[in-house]
Structure 1
Amino acid sequence: MQEMPQLQQLLDQLGDYTPLIINGAKALVVLILGWMAAGILSRFVRRRVNAHPEIDQTLGSFAASIVRWVILLMVLVAVLGLFGIQATSLVAMLGAATLAIGLALQGTLSDLAAGFMLILFRPFKLGQFVDIGGTSGTVVDLNLFFTELSTPDNVQIIVPNGQAWGAIIRNFSHHDTRRVDLVFGIDYGDDADAAMRIIRDLAAADSRVLADPEPWVRVTNLGDSSVDLTARLWCQASDFWELKFHMTKAVKEAFDAAGISIPYPHSVEIQKAG
């Protein structure tokens, strides 16, 4: 009989925490549903925006990011409301702690502001190959806080928007055409005019080389062991690397067939009679 009052006391204590447990369960459900809704709606916005060919895909990625974070903020306000913290009280608390929050989140706020600047001025777009402060890669995503790059060897790189906006940006895909610069060294005893003619003929035979601007081949340097010939060829940006690799191999083979040597650094020893 003595156990009954103890059991009743335990039930009374649990009853005191019942509203908290119920609100906690509700908050968990709201968080899960809100997180799922944010993901679904952000993907929907991305697809709808990217469905229009006249709209840059970078805008679709950025708009999806905004939708996602707005929904998550609404979910946070709803969860706090379940525990009796109203939105007005939350705003008052944030207002009172503005300085502390600003100092703690100054990097995040800077990334947020830089994200809007990047989407406003658009120094790069999704799918373009860029160099941001010495880091190169293809732009995969641009959202509120960071820019995602993918390197040619498929390594993911995350660049905070604040650093991206404050760095020197080199966009290799911005223009439709690019110039391929090639340097070939020949022996001092070889015919430079014949070597330059070979390079011009190979360039003329390659359909990827543009006629305007005209291919440019000149003697540009007299080195320690070679006469350096520089070729400047213009092509579509998408053909840059394939043309560079192909011309390097083709010129080497053509020089071999014509008896033009590509020298390597060497030293000449001169002995004088005593």
Structure 2
Amino acid sequence: MGSSVVDVDVRLGVVLAALTALAAVSGRLSGLGEDRAVLVAAARATVQLAVVSAVLLIVVDSLWLSAAFVLLMVTVATATAAGRITGLPLRSPGAGPRLAAAALPVVGGAAPVVGLVLASGTVPLRGTAVIPIAGIVIGGAMSATSLAGRRLRDELNRRHGEVEAALALGLPPRDSVLLVARPVAGTALIPPLDQTRTVGLVTLPGAFVGVLLGGGSPLEAGAAQLLVLIGLLAAEVLAVWAVTELVARGRVLPVPR
């Protein structure tokens, strides 16, 4: 296998096809109804990663092209988060304001973390380092935004009477929504908190393994993974905070006034 995590040969194709089939069949037999979604996701991931791998061969040698690629990642993350929060397709009316609102927690969560890491010199300012770090942090901010926003939407729909009761008692709209929103939004941080708490005891995440396979020492691998985990946690807390405030102020979802 050498220094690679996997051997890129026919065996990889067979295993990927088998794993996709396992997930799709399980989705059908379980009654979850996600078999088609699994097939589409697997196909998209295959095509996208093939294209991205080819593009990165060119992009990583230029810091400007790397920055443009990071901007593309932010754009896709924003569109994904906006759809998850509102439950509306991208082409539906009012897409512009929804995207602008969803961009705030994604960028607000990722930018301070990536900026601090790069400004400190901890990660070298070159494409091969900037793109992976930015991608990990942007992805974490997107996931936190999507999860918190979707849970807030469901909870506000289910408990809208409590918000209206708080309004009737004279509380401002923002405070009325936050009474319901804050406890629910906090549950979006359970996955990153659990991942950070159990690292090394349950799993050895990708950054740790990648540094080891790249020839780094276990100490270097641990340091890299710690940087990623703490950075992700910071980005996701900021993202959840931002999307909660946006929802409470009626910038993302309609709330009682």
Report the TM-score when normalising by structure 1.
0.27
Q: As a proportion of its length, which structure holds more helix? A: 2
* Structure showing greater Rg: 1
Q: As a proportion of its length, which structure holds more strand? A: 1
